Amino acid sequence: MDTPSATVPMWKAHLISGYQAFRAGEYRERKDLYERLGQEGQTPKVMLIACCDSRCEPSDIFNAHPGEMFVARNVANIVPPQNMATDFDGLSAALEYAVLELKVEAIVVMGHESCGGVNASLEGVGENPDSYIGRWISILNSARDRVVARTAKEDQSRELEYEGVRESLGNLLSYPYVRERVKDGDIALVGAYFSIIRGVLMFADDKGQFHEIAPVAPTAPIAPTE
Ligand SMILES: [Zn+2]
């Protein structure tokens, strides 16, 4: 068994101590849940598509317990339209599994503030077909062009972070099995956005406009006493 020592690099010692803290805390509290999920399988109701960015951790933001969300992460939380998905596309495989096997009830695409992938798109990285990142980011090219045409320079990052989510929600409908379930009311498609600096979550309405979610539940009215 590996134990931290002077020869263990800092990053590994940190991973190990993090794991040990998890075992002593979260895992102890949820041991039964882990055992049950491991034996009975997962039945998450929500698929969450988020960015790889280390600053927007879905299970932290939604305080989600194990088994609650089926999460797929990629650079800039992009869903490629079906005709741009390659034969070996990880996101499309996760999507297919979530919809056809897990039968999730909602697919949430969550963008975030200060997204490096979105900024790369604005810098023209999506015009470079010679790199994986260039080809991947090129999926945002049309959204980028729309945003640049209508938005002042200083607001383009934020606006493309929003528009990228809208684009991905639209692209989800290019998958027939998603389109069919949305039409039948079996799956909801939802846009979300996380402000890292303010720690604020937003959901998009039906028109694609993002609105902040109150961080604290409203106080329940006190029932009148007799
Ligand atoms: Zn990002």
Span 64-90, average pLDDT? 94
List beta partners, residue 46: 69, 106
DSSP 8-state class, residue 13: H
Q: Who contacts 148 (Cβ-Cβ below 8 Å, separation ≥6)? A: 122, 156
CA 148–ligand 1 middle distance (angstroms): 19
CA 218–ligand 1 middle distance (angstroms): 31
pLDDT tens digits, one per residue of 34-54: 999 999 999 999 999 999 999
1: pLDDT strictly greater than 70? no
Helices within 86-140 (DSSP H only)? 90-96, 116-122, 132-137
What are the structure tokens assigned to 165, written together?
């989510």
| Annotation marks residue 53 as catalytic | yes
Choose the catalytic residue: 112, 144, 166, 181: 112
Q: Who contacts 100 (Cβ-Cβ below 8 Å, separation ≥6)? A: 177
- Exposure string for 174-190, b = 16+ CB within 10 A, e = fewer: ebeebeebbeeeebebb
Selected residue with higher pLDDT from 150 and 7: 150
pLDDT grade, residue 29 (50/70/90)?
A: very high
Choose the catalytic residue: 36, 55, 150, 198: 55
φ, ψ of residue 66 to 5 degrees: the values are -55, 140
Dihedral (C-alpha) 160, 161, 164, 170: value to the nearest 10 degrees? -110
pLDDT tens digits, one per residue of 88-147: 899 999 999 999 999 999 999 999 999 999 999 999 999 999 999 999 999 999 999 999
| Annotation marks residue 55 as catalytic | yes
Predicted structure pTM score: 0.92
pLDDT score of 115: 98
CA distance 79 to 191: 12
CA distance 156 to 115: 12
CA 194–ligand 1 middle distance (angstroms): 10
CA 35–ligand 1 middle distance (angstroms): 33
Domains of the chain: 1-40 (no CATH), 42-212 (3.40.1050.10)
| Annotation marks residue 112 as catalytic | yes
pLDDT score of 87: 85
CA 20–ligand 1 middle distance (angstroms): 29
| Annotation marks residue 56 as catalytic | no
CA distance 204 to 196: 17
pLDDT tens digits, one per residue of 148-194: 999 999 999 999 999 999 999 999 999 999 999 999 999 999 999 99
Q: What is the mean pLDDT of the chain?
A: 94
pLDDT score of 4: 53
- Cα 166 to Cα 5, 22, 145, distances in angstroms: 48, 36, 14
pLDDT score of 225: 54
Choose the catalytic residue: 115, 144, 166, 181: 115
In contact, 186 and 99? CB cutoff 8 Å = no
pLDDT score of 218: 74
5: pLDDT strictly greater than 70? no
CA 116–ligand 1 middle distance (angstroms): 5
CA 147–ligand 1 middle distance (angstroms): 17
